[in-house]
């Protein structure tokens, strides 16, 4: 049985007497511990798909199940990290993570156990040194590390990443990509990442889901990335398998872009 199953999912938005179909007939199977990147042109419904898996938006038809249980609403088993870190500015780094821990484990762990769990997750993202700082006192990359720590602290079955590094500079982005790879290797958790960045998709993912253009977008192709882990970005720069995977994604996106231009 697949860990996450997306079966014939469609999503339509209605308003002002009009119906806009964003997604149609989306089918996907994701295994436990797998890292999947979802890529496609703007407007192809990538973030909508992530929101459906998160339970933030209901499906219009079809269904999504996680370990056999239907996804109907948000839950701590599916934690989301957005491009905007969404930290509460008046709380410290520690207290931002504490909010999530208390919500999920308030009745299951003692105060001392919750404290240790908070520090454990801050340590995973190398942010224990800034535990007493407020979001305004740390960099953008550090804010995203805290957002990831907060999500991991919920001990989710799936970590959903919606372009979490899109607003960061190239060097900070590279450091956080490495951090995510290390966390995935250490925890073996299931991750789904939305991205516009081809190199990021190939570097991080076991499989890349390439979406067709919207409206009524669906899964166009799914590419297996045949790269052993752990991965070293410098060593992969001239790796034939890396270059082949990168080329396959670029061709798909370029051909889709041409299709859009031809239709205009």
One domain, residues 202 and 250: yes
Contacts of 15 (CB under 8 A, 6+ apart): none
Domain that holds residue 205: 4-77+161-263
* 201: phi then psi, degrees, rounded to nearest 5: -60, -45
Statement to judge: residues 103 and 126 lie in one domain = yes
* pLDDT at res. 256: 67
257 and 167 both lie in a single domain? yes
Q: Mark whether 115 and 38 lie in a shared domain.
A: no
Structure tokens at 167: 């607003």
Q: What is the pLDDT of residue 255?
A: 80
Domain boundary among 118, 133, 155: 155
Where do the H-state alpha helices sit in the chain? 46-54, 93-105, 111-124, 140-153, 170-187, 198-204, 233-236, 240-263
pLDDT at 264: 39
Tell whether 137 and 165 lie within a shared domain: no
Q: What pLDDT score does 260 carry?
A: 45
pLDDT tens per residue across span 94-138? 999 999 999 999 989 999 999 999 999 999 999 999 999 999 999
Sheet (strand 78-81) strand order: 78-81, 158-162, 190-195, 35-39, 207-211, 219-224
- Mean residue pLDDT across the chain: 92
Contact indicator for 166, 85 with CB cutoff of 8 Å: no
* Residue 222 and residue 143 share a domain: no
Establish whether the linkage from the previous residue to 215 is cis, with ω within 30° of 0: yes
The encoded tokens of residue 131 equal 């535990």
pLDDT in tens, 222-246: 999 999 999 999 999 899 999 999 9
Structure tokens at 208: 């890349």
pLDDT > 70? residue 262: no
Is the domain of 165 the same as that of 258?
yes
Same domain (yes/no): 150, 186: no
Domain count, the chain: 2
Q: Determine the pLDDT at residue 1.
A: 55
Among residues 155, 186, 208, which one ends one of the domains? 155
Using the 3D structure, point to which of 107, 126, 155 is the last residue of a domain.
Answer: 155
53/172 same-domain check = yes
Based on the domain organization, do 68 and 141 belong to the same domain?
no
- Same domain as 142, residue 91: yes
Q: 259 and 179 in one domain?
A: yes
Instruction: Report phi then psi at 128, rounded to 5.
Output: -65, -30
Nearest to 189 by CA among 102, 91, 109, 81: 81
Please check whether residue 9 is in contact with residue 61, taking contact to mean a CB–CB distance below 8 angstroms. yes
Give 70 or 1, the one with higher predicted confidence: 70
- Checking if the pLDDT of 263 tops 70, the result is no
The CATH number given to whatever domain includes residue 208 is 3.40.50.300
Per the CB < 8 A criterion, the answer to whether 73 and 132 are in contact is no
How confident is the model over 21-65, as pLDDT tens digits?
999 999 999 999 999 999 999 888 999 999 999 999 999 999 999
What's the predicted TM-score (pTM) here? 0.91
């Amino acid at each position: 049985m697949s860990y996450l199953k997306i079966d014939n999912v469609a999503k339509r938005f209605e308003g002002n007497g009009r119906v806009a179909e964003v997604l149609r007939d989306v089918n996907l199977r994701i295994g436990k511990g797998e890292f999947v990147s979802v890529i496609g042109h703007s407007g192809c419904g990538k973030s909508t798909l992530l929101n459906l898996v998160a339970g933030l938006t209901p499906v219009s038809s079809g269904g999504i199940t996680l370990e056999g249980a239907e996804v109907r609403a948000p839950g701590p088993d599916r934690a989301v990290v957005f491009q905007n870190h969404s930290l509460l500015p008046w709380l410290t780094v520690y207290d931002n993570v504490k909010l999530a821990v208390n919500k999920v484990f308030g009745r299951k762990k003692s105060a001392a156990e919750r404290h240790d769990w908070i520090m454990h997750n801050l340590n995973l993202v190398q942010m224990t040194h800034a535990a007493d700082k407020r979001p305004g006192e740390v960099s953008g990359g550090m804010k995203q590390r805290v957002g990831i720590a907060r999500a991991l602290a919920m001990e989710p079955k799936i970590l959903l990443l919606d372009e979490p590094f899109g607003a960061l500079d190239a060097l900070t982005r590279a450091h956080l990509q490495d951090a995510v790879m290390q966390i995935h290797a250490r925890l073996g958790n299931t991750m789904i990442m939305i991205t516009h960045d081809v190199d990021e998709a190939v570097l991080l993912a076991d499989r890349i889901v390439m979406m067709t253009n919207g409206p009524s977008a669906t899964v166009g192709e799914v590419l297996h990335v045949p790269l052993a882990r752990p991965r070293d970005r410098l060593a992969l720069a001239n790796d034939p398998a890396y270059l082949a995977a990168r080329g396959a994604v670029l061709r798909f996106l370029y051909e889709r872009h041409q299709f859009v231009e031809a239709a205009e």
